[in-house]
Structure formats: structure tokens, C-alpha cells
Amino acid sequence: MKKTFKVLKFSTVFFLLLTFFIACDKEFSIIESDVLGNKNANFYTDSLVLPISAYNKKLEALQINSLPSNLLGVFNDPEYGKTTASIVTQLTPSSFDEDFDLNPEIDSVVINIPYFSNVTGIDPSNSEASTYSLDSIYGNANAPITLTIYQNDYFLRDFDPSGEINSIQNYFSKAEELVDPSHNYILNGSQTIDFDNHLGEMIYKNDDFKTNAEAIELWNESDTEVTKTFVAPALRISFESDVEEDEDAIAFWKETIIDKIGDPVLSNANNFRNYFRGLYFKAEANSSDGNMVLMNLGSADANVTIYYSKGEANTRTQDTYVLNFNGNRLNTFINEFNVTLGDGDKDNGDETLYLKGLEGSMAVVDLFPTDEALENFKNDFRQTGNNGEFIKDNRTGSFLLKKLINEAHLVIYEDDNVLSTEDDNGDLYHKYDRIYAYDIKNNITTIDYQIDPIESNEALSSKLFSLGQREESTGKYKIRITEHLNNIIQNDSTNYQIGLVLSNNVNVTSSSRILNSTDDVTAVPTASIISPRGTILNGSNAMDDNKKLKLKVFFTELKEN
């Protein structure tokens, strides 16, 4: 007599079975023999490996506006080579039609952009100051770069004149095949823009710029006392009116802002952005090394603050005028890779897979490369009638099963060359890597991600059920797709391709468009664009059969009487 699994709502089954199956692969046989006893159980558990195909997809022309944060600096990836990241951003006054009063004179101007950091303790040399760790610095923090800040003279429009009414203007990366490899370019869909051909006045230049992870000490002097405070690490540039080398910068801000009192350019955001088109933070390498840091321009503390005095000589008071980094913010990239990236073999899969952030590369996984493979999978798990037709449950409309998938995951290994690097078998560099999987067809998270109960502000320890952490020494990853496969066999859901990218924050699930894509990959996870690191993986056609990318499925099947 045939026996059939009545399909429960899988989320319930998932969490019941998770208790038993989460630790390691060998536990599947332990459950039956040690708990139930092999002779007493009316079911057994087993596993199988399904052949899949995975290939490389080179990434170009990625949407680089509306990013959650922005990279600045120079990063030399040990596997891929050098990338330089610069930032172009608009500014918006926090208030309009400002009355600067009588005789306004600038005392100082401060550009402040926080880094992403965590408090780690108290500075032992100063009990009033905290110590911090930077979450997102890449490369050698002690290796200086050249940082130059220009006024940007290219207008970043909000709306696309070639699109539908009120359609947003998107901007896209152009990191390779540059006319001048020292210039920063973007695409707006119809044109290539070279920001170095739209330079306004140079406001600041530092040939020895380094990222500082220490708390910033601030002094505030009033008529009665002098106080000291500490703020979190940030890119903080101060121009003082009484410092000779700052005279040009002070004069620039006075002429550009303070002297425009009563002018319509200070009356609203649109007028201002057309008048003052933003700042261009240009990073350049000045050695073979460098550092890159993730900037929090969306922070309330990210701004340009003009401190000024006003009034008659004997009754002068101090005030501030604040410009926030609102509006369009763009990242530009210059890639100098020593690895040639390209599109892979869609039909047969690739031996090696390249995951690289910025404008780099991703992998595309076909779980069932052919219609025959998909049909065989359904036949293996679904209950069939006398004529070979699949049988549905009349109550739920789901297909009846003869096997229940308990757990299914992609098994992924780093390439041996990555593991064999001298830095502790690659563990020092790659220990924080997370591989993020997404639904390519709909540009959303996988269903396994959506039901993953582990949520944490710490990206390394979030979504651990669906996106496993990298195993040290082996360089092994597990990406769970249990619910995805169950949806296919139970509900005839679409067998969509799965994209694999490297992500520095798996909690960020938004996607960014690819300009004029001509294949199935039309967007990438936004977090992958601002993830500078890269890794190299064994593909579905890897030479070592034990380390090739594979799909492993653990299932339960009822025994026949």
C-alpha cells in the first residue's frame, strides 16, 4: 500500500525539524537510530546530492544613487587588485532665507561625516573618552591616500527627462575602460559624465589622509568657561579664520554662502542645488597600498557647519548655518583589477566563481538547469496516481508527497588558492565574509531568508539559518533553500535562479538596477555594491568533486509495510 505525506504548512515543519537538523549533516542518521530505533520507526531519513549549474556574471553600470552609505578611499584587494572610490554629493541648507544679520563674519567652517563605529570601552588615558572600533574600514588604516575636495559644477538632476513623467533620474557606475584612468565617471542612461571635467574651486587637499578610529576631542569656549567633549570617529575637516592656510577656504564659504544674503539662491532647495551643485570628494592612491572607509552621509551629524559672528562691534553674537548632505549622493569607482572578469558558461557552468563587490562580479545558480532535471525532481518527491499524474490534496490544493524535505542547502567552498594565502589560511581576511543569496527573477530575498528568525544589528550574526557563516580553515558556506524547494514540489512555485554576491551587511535587502541589462540579471543587492572585498569560490564544474558547488537535500520517506 502506498503511503503519502499530508503537506503541513512548511514554516511549522521547518521550525520543528530545525531543532534536530541544525547542528551537522551526520545528525540525520542519529535521530532515527538513537531516538526511535531503526527497527521501530515507520520512516527513514536519507540525503542526496543534485547536479546544478553555476556561472559567473560580470557586473557593469550599477545604480550608484540611493545607496545606504558610501565608500571613500583606496582598497587593494589581495585577490583582485585595486579600486578607488570617490563621492559626489549635493548639499541642502537646514533653513532658508537666512538672515545673517549685521556684519556677518565666518569664525570657522567644519565638514563632518561620521564613520560607522561601535563603542568598545573607555580610553585608559582619559576616562572622559570612549574607545571605538570601526566596522567598515578596508585595507591598511595607516596607509595614507590623497583626499581632495572640490566644488562640483555638474548638476545632478532629480528627474529623468527621457523617462515617464516624474520618473526618478538614476545614475550608474563606470569603473573600467575610462578615457582617463585618473578621472571619475558615471552614466546617466544617455551620457557619460566625467566629474573631473566639471571641477569648481578646490576647497581642501591632503596628501597624507588617514582614517582615524579615535574619538574626536572638541573644545567649546564661552564667556564663562571652556568645556571639552568627545564625539565618535568621523572625517572632520576644520577651517579656522585665524589660521593662515585656511584663508582661501574661509573666503570661499563667505563668498558662496554668507554674501548671498537675500539672494533667491538661498530661498529653497531647488534654487540652492542648482546654484551650489555639491561637493566632490576625490580619493587617489599615493602608494601601492591604501585604505577605504564606509561613510555615513545619512547621519544627522553629517554636515557642513558654518560658524559665524554677527552684530555691532560691542554686541556681537555667534550663530551657525548648516548644510546637510541631502539630495543625490553618488559613489564613483575606478577599478584596476589584476583578474579578468567576464560572463561565464550559462549552459555548462564554471569551474571557478568570482564574487567581487563594487563594480565586480557575481554568480548565478541554476538549481535545475534543464526542464528534465526539474521534472525528475518533482517525480522523486511527489505522490503519483496510477497514470503517473501528480496527486493534489483536495483541501489545501498542495501536492501530496512521498518524501518530505527536511533540509536543503547549497554547499560552497572557497577556492584552494584563497585558502592557501599566508594570513592564517585566508581566515584573517575572509572571516567576516557573508555570501548573500537572492531571487534573481524578482530581485528580492529568498523565502528562506524571509522566515529566518535570527535577526541582529550585527551583520555577521544575522540570518544564520538561511545564510550560514563562513567556516574557518575549510572556507565552507551553507546557503539554505529548504523552503524554496518545498514550494516547488508542494505548490509548483517558480524555479527561479539564485544570485550569489558578497555582502558586508546581510540586513540590507534593497536592490540596485543594472543599466540596460539584456539578460535575466536586472539588478543586484545594494549592499554588494558597497562591499569592497572579494572572494573566489569553487564552481559547479570544479576539478575537485568534494569541493564543487553542490545542492544537498536531506529528506524523510515513509517505509513500505
Q: Tell me, yes or no, whether 169 and 221 share the same domain.
A: yes
Q: What is the pLDDT, as a whole number, of residue 416?
A: 83
Last residue of a domain, one of 337, 359, 386: 337
Please check whether residue 323 is in contact with residue 94, taking contact to mean a CB–CB distance below 8 angstroms: yes
Domains: count for the chain: 2
Q: Tell me, yes or no, whether 181 and 48 share the same domain.
A: no
Q: What is the pLDDT, as a whole number, of residue 1?
A: 44
Q: What is the pLDDT, as a whole number, of residue 162?
A: 84
* Cell numbers placing 494: 517558480
Q: Tell me, yes or no, whether 347 and 240 share the same domain.
A: no
* Cα separation, 512 vs 503, whole angstroms: 14
* Range of the structural domain that residue 461 is part of: 10-59+340-558
Q: Which residue has the cell 565608500?
A: 71
Radius of gyration of the chain, Cα coordinates, nearest whole angstrom: 28
Q: Looking at the DSSP assignment, which residues form a beta bridge with residue 498?
A: 365, 439
Please check whether residue 211 is in contact with residue 134, taking contact to mean a CB–CB distance below 8 angstroms: yes
Residue type, 439: D
Helices assigned H by DSSP within 162-203: none
Q: Tell me, yes or no, whether 331 and 371 share the same domain.
A: no
Task: Answer yes or no: is 68 within a domain.
Answer: no
Q: Tell me, yes or no, whether 333 and 439 share the same domain.
A: no
470: Cβ–Cβ under 8 A, 6 or more apart, which residues? 414, 430, 431, 433, 434, 435, 476, 477
pLDDT tens for the 561 residues of the chain, in order: 445 555 544 444 444 344 434 444 433 333 433 444 555 567 789 999 999 999 999 999 999 999 999 999 999 998 999 999 999 999 999 999 999 989 999 999 999 999 998 887 787 777 667 777 787 889 888 899 999 999 999 999 999 988 888 899 999 999 999 999 999 999 999 899 999 999 999 999 999 999 988 888 887 766 667 778 888 899 999 999 999 999 999 999 999 999 999 999 999 999 999 999 999 999 999 988 899 999 999 999 999 999 999 999 888 999 999 999 999 999 999 999 999 999 999 999 999 999 999 999 999 999 999 999 999 999 999 999 988 899 999 899 999 999 999 999 999 999 987 766 655 456 778 888 999 999 999 999 999 999 999 999 888 899 999 999 999 889 999 999 999 999 999 999 999 999 999 999 999 999 999 999 999 999 999 999 999 999 999 999 999 999 999 999 999 998 765
Q: What is the pLDDT, as a whole number, of residue 421?
A: 63
What three-state secondary structure class fits 165?
coil
Last residue of a domain, one of 314, 337, 360: 337
* Cα separation, 518 vs 50, whole angstroms: 29
Last residue of a domain, one of 292, 320, 337: 337
* Cα separation, 218 vs 196, whole angstroms: 34
Q: Tell me, yes or no, whether 428 and 510 share the same domain.
A: yes
Q: Tell me, yes or no, whether 216 and 310 share the same domain.
A: yes
Q: Looking at the DSSP assignment, which residues form a beta bridge with residue 362?
A: 57
Q: What is the pLDDT, as a whole number, of residue 35?
A: 46
Closest among 13, 2, 115, 21 to 69, alpha carbons compared: 115
Q: What is the pLDDT, as a whole number, of residue 249?
A: 97
Q: Tell me, yes or no, whether 395 and 442 share the same domain.
A: yes
HEC string of 327-389?
A: CCEEEEEEEEECCCCCCCCCCCCCCEEEEECCCCEEEEEECCCCHHHHHHHHHHHECECCCCC
Please check whether residue 504 is in contact with residue 527, taking contact to mean a CB–CB distance below 8 angstroms: yes
Q: What is the pLDDT, as a whole number, of residue 215?
A: 83
pTM of the full structure: 0.89
Task: Answer yes or no: is 210 within a domain.
Answer: yes
Q: What is the pLDDT, as a whole number, of residue 30?
A: 36
Q: How many residues does the chain have?
A: 561
Q: Tell me, yes or no, whether 182 and 199 share the same domain.
A: yes
Q: Tell me, yes or no, whether 296 and 350 share the same domain.
A: no
Q: Tell me, yes or no, whether 87 and 39 share the same domain.
A: no
